[in-house]
Amino acid sequence: MSSTKPTETAATAATGGASPEIRYNPAEIEPCWQQRWAEQPDLYAAEPASSGKPKYYVLEMLPYPSGQLHMGHVRNYSIGDALARYMWMQGYNVLHPMGWDAFGLPAENAALKNNTPPRQWTLSNISAMKRQMNRVGFSYDWANEVTTCLPDYYRWNQWFFIRMFERGLAYRKKSKVNWCPECATVLANEQVINGRCWRHEDTIVEQRDLEQWFLRITNYAQELLDCLDKLDGWPDKVRTMQRNWIGRSEGAEVDFAVEDARGAPDDEHQHMRHKGTAVLPAVENVETTGSKITVFTTRIDTIYGATSIQLAPEHALVKEFAAANSDLAEQVGALLDQQRQARESGDIGEIEKHGVFTGHYAINPFNGERLPIWVANYIVAEYGTGAIMSVPAHDERDYEFAKKYGLEIRIVILPRRTDETEGNAEPESMLPYTEEDSLLINSGAFNTLGNKEAQQKMAAFAEEKGFGKPTITFRLRDWGVSRQRYWGTPIPMLYCEKDGIVPVPDDQLPVLLPDHVEITQEGGSPLGKLPEFVNATCPKCGRPARRETDTMDTFVDSSWYFYRYTSAKNDKDPFDSAAIQYWFPIDQYIGGVEHAILHLIYSRFWTKVMRDLGLIQNDEPAERLFTQGMVIKNGAKMSKSKGNVVSPDDMIARYGADATRMYSLFAAPPDRDLDWQEDGVAGVSRFLGRVYRFVMKAAPAMCQPISAGSQLPSDVAQILERKLHQTIYKITQDFAGRWHFNTSIAAIMELSNLFAEHEEAIAAAVASDARARDLISNLVLLLAPFGPYLAAELWDQIGGVSAINKAPWPKADPGKMAELTIEIPVQVNGKLRAVVQAPKDADQETLREIVKADAKVRASLAGKEIVKAIVVPGKLVNIVVKG
């Protein structure tokens, strides 16, 4: 039995033995159960695969240990906790772990601000947040806790990195990177939001050229895209976001040879060469420089309409042209500044278009025409090849640019509805015409072809002639994982003058982070200032070597942590492959939609790499994904940076943990945003108090054997059992599909209110009627996933056997769910005036009598003559009156 007891008020005690007033006091009940649960380390432990039970792996995304939970965290974890408790009660072997995404910049910021080492700050925060989680009552198996900043975890980050390096999936190159001045480090493309840092929303991201480590996620681009079709349990919104980010484009690459200006023909068009606004006609034996411009296009069918070639300001050929032309160099510099400003404003796609003619021409390989080469600020080096063929008549951006600079506009496709003859052009007002379903004109041998057929034939022709080929490109870029910060996983690579880049041998892992480091966030990684870290020995030749001083992007840590949960203490391997075979894929993953194109793409990539390494067999990490809504306060997402955080500690002190977590589930459907209202927590607390008092009054009798005595009246028993089984059915369905826990909790409230209406009858029968006892015990069981403290206390008080989280979930009896009465709408002259309750099998005469007795109907008929009454049993009653 529980060590807690109903609280007696001072007034009751003064009566010297009168029946005590029962008062719900979560401040007494919840700490008692928290202590009892802490003394049972196996309470929430997963069982071995040999248990014979079906498995269920439920997981909430692990948090960054910032120091304090807020109600946004509580909502996320309450959803997963309710599901875990329900699945235990359904007889599943449940894995429900928790850990800490513990590397990251905030720890370095804290070190600067508070003169506290990052490790100390992080582990202190973990301790505080773990205390909060335990106080809320989350059912985590802490035996499998993972902390990503500890060597027993990040050792395996390094091990995976070396395996990828051996297979060519990890490589180093000089690259233009996103640099956050506030973080003093590189950001992945996915971490730049509207031109600003994902952590520092007011900090403009700069572009820098640095040697960086990359992971070849692009090798898996097609598979990442294809497998989205198999993820039926993921939200459509997330899958769409990933499809768009991967960005598959089918088209062709075409090579445009660069004309040698020194050998350009002296023809009647010579006077136009310096303007760059006109296409120069084809000539025989034109001399070229040997350079070529490769263009990727999804619309090779419009290539006869190309009237210029446009290059990104950072294109290699532009640098070559500018080196020989100081005026051009100055103008290109201005274009680069415009691009930088556009990136800083957040949307380069909205840049005001500017360009400059280079003085050079490229040859269209399809017709030999010489196209002027321009540099344009709206062309970016990171997409495609950094060069486009400009077809103004059939592309909106090209059209805008051509109109501004007076470039030629040539129509080469028309809608199918027009005559299929060459030269039948659309009016100027229709341009740019970009529709797919079209026919080619002004396109040489390809005239009259439909655009789809033309795309295939023209790409094949380019390949046959050696100046192009069909090509598929992706928006997705390789994952830049180098970070110039201290608090992260050291990249396990060495630089040797003799042997080049050499991985650290496995038996020397982990490469440990030094404990005592001066963090300035200036001048690159602080690790580079530590000779004892930098200086190493090459494992190949034994000569001095230099250690890599960059650390890994923290998204590496979160890309595979859920695999480690299955065998967190394994010191021989990253995990036990047999355990992975049993537990994966994750049955239900829960987290915010903001991770759709960061963590969720990276973790899918990491899973596929591990599969190809032979470590696992599954293709995807999670079968189902649920993205919960945000908690909103004062019109903004609850976050520490906005200063609108509500601490669960404060709510628990006032109302208890059960009321706090139940409100987070009750106030809105889990997938919708929740507008925080403290009054709502108070309301849930009052409801729990009513349940507590109701059950506790019956508890003494329920702990005794059933004796002879009063029984529930049969009509009352039918009403109560019907509502009970309807509630069981509804909540079971909610867990199975919709997850509308707000309506589940509302259904429990309705059930409780109905029991309260018949409290006297239940109380009189509970000592001698098993039906009355079942009503009470099932009410407690239904409460268990949502209010575990109160449910555990009441279960104990009524003599429940074993822990309630392992008690069988109640089953709905269809035979007891059927309604004996139904609602019948009553109309007067076609307008609804009342709704009456009637037996399901009531005949016409019975319905007439019930309707006549209804006060609202009588008021509507007062002073009027009834012409006729239309009675449809089981459906409606319509009374026609006059007067």
Residue 209 pairs in a beta bridge with 176
Cα distance between residue 494 and residue 308, in whole Å: 47
320: pLDDT strictly greater than 90 = yes
Phi, psi (rounded to 5 degrees) for 187? -115, 145
pLDDT for position 733:
93
Instruction: Identify the pLDDT of residue 1.
Output: 45
Q: What is the mean pLDDT of residues 26-34?
A: 97
Q: Can you list the positions of beta strands (E) in 274-394?
A: 288-297, 308-311, 355-363, 370-376, 387-390
Is residue 629 helix, strand or coil? coil
pLDDT greater than 50 at residue 296: yes
Does the pLDDT value for residue 162 go beyond 50? yes
Confidence band for 174, pLDDT divided at 50, 70 and 90: confident
Share of the chain above pLDDT 90, in %: 71
- Which residue reads 């979930």 in tokens? 809
Lowest mean pLDDT among 41-50, 137-146, 336-345: 336-345
Distances (CA, A) of 351 to 295, 307, 339, 378: 22, 22, 8, 7
Provide mean pLDDT across the span 735-750.
93
Least Cα distance to 96 among 587, 571, 619, 624 occurs for 587
- For the cut 50, the answer to whether the pLDDT of residue 14 exceeds it is no
Residue 417 pLDDT level (bands cut at 50, 70, 90): low
Q: Does residue 377 register a pLDDT over 50?
A: yes
Determine the pLDDT at residue 18. Answer: 41
In this structure, are residues 215 and 169 in contact, taking their beta carbons and an 8 Å threshold?
A: yes
Of 552-561, 566-575, 804-813, 848-857, which range is least confident?
Answer: 848-857
Report d(CA 658, CA 792) in Å as an integer. 11
Residue 38 has pLDDT above 60, yes or no: yes
Separation of alpha carbons 519 and 497, rounded Å: 29
Give the Cα separation of 136 and 255 in Å (integer).
Answer: 64
Residue 524 in this model has a pLDDT that exceeds 80: no
pLDDT-derived band at 443 (thresholds 50, 70, 90) equals very high
Nearest to 183 by CA among 476, 527, 487, 480: 487
Indicate whether 118 pLDDT > 70: yes
Helices 678-702 and 657-666: angle between axes, nearest 10 degrees: 120
341-345, 373-377, 382-386, 856-860: which has the minimum mean pLDDT?
341-345
- Contact call for residues 291 and 258 (beta carbons, < 8 A): yes
- The lowest-confidence range among 321-330, 333-342, 494-503, 610-619 is 333-342
Largest CA distance in the chain: 120
**pLDDT tens digits, 818-831:** 777 789 999 999 99
Angle between helices 678-702 and 770-783 (to 10 degrees): 150
Output phi, psi for 354, to 5 deg: -135, 155
Length of the chain: 883
List C-alpha distances in Å: 558 to 537, 595, 599, 605. 31, 11, 7, 12
583 vs 20, residue with greater confidence: 583
Q: Is pLDDT at 719 greater than 70 in this prediction?
A: yes
CB hemisphere CA count around 406 (13 angstroms): 6
Cis status of the peptide bond prior to 313, with omega within 30 of 0: no
Q: How confident is the model at residue 522 (pLDDT cuts 50, 70, 90)?
A: low
- State pLDDT tens for residues 644-669: 888 999 999 999 999 999 999 999 99
Average pLDDT, stretch 659-681?
A: 94
Cα–Cα distance measured from residue 301 to residue 393, given in angstroms and rounded to the nearest whole number: 13
Q: For residue 212, give the 3-state DSSP assignment.
A: strand
> What percent of the chain has pLDDT above 70?
93
Provide the pLDDT for residue 37: 96
**pLDDT of residue 514 exceeding 90:** yes
Q: What was the pLDDT predicted at 287?
A: 82
**pTM summary value:** 0.85
Q: Confirm if 695 and 702 have CB atoms less than 8 A apart.
A: no
pLDDT at 639 > cutoff 80 = no
List of residues 6+ apart from 674 with CB closer than 8 A:
75, 629, 630, 631, 632, 664, 667, 668
Mean pLDDT of the chain: 90
Q: In this predicted structure, what is the pLDDT of residue 570?
A: 96
Torsion of CA 315, 316, 318, 322, to 10 degrees: 140
pLDDT in tens, 757-800: 999 999 999 999 999 999 999 999 999 999 999 999 999 999 99
Cα–Cα dist 680/694, whole Å: 22
> Rounded to an integer, what distance in angstroms lies between the CA atom of residue 388 and that of residue 405?
17
Range in 207-221, 258-272, 293-307, 818-832 with the lowest mean pLDDT:
258-272
**Which uninterrupted H or E stretch holds 105?**
helix 105-114
- Say yes or no to pLDDT of 363 above 70: yes
Pairing of strands 479-480, 206-215: antiparallel
Average pLDDT over residues 276-303: 90
Q: Which two tokens stand for residue 562?
A: 């859920």
Instruction: Give the pLDDT score at 276.
Output: 80
**Secondary structure of 833-857 in the HEC alphabet?**
EEEEEEECCCCHHHHHHHHHCCHHH
Helical H runs in 737-854? Answer: 741-757, 759-765, 770-783, 788-797, 814-817, 844-852
At which residue do the structure tokens 């999670």 appear?
622
Q: What is the pLDDT of residue 262?
A: 67
Please compute the mean of the pLDDT values over residues 395-406 and round it to a whole number.
94
pLDDT at residue 649, as a whole number = 94
Q: E strands within 396-440?
A: 413-415, 438-440
Average pLDDT over residues 566-593: 96
Q: Distance of CA 779 to CAs 139, 366, 725, Å?
A: 21, 78, 10
The highest-confidence range among 387-401, 514-528, 706-720, by mean pLDDT, is 387-401
| Mean pLDDT confidence for 740-761 | 96
Question: For 379-388, 462-471, 564-573, which range has the lowest pLDDT when averaged over its residues?
Answer: 379-388
What H or E segment, with its residue span, contains residue 112?
helix 105-114
Write the burial class of residue 358 (CB in 10 Å: 0-12 exposed, 13-18 middle, 19+ buried). Answer: buried
If pLDDT is split at 50, 70 and 90, which confidence band does 195 have? confident
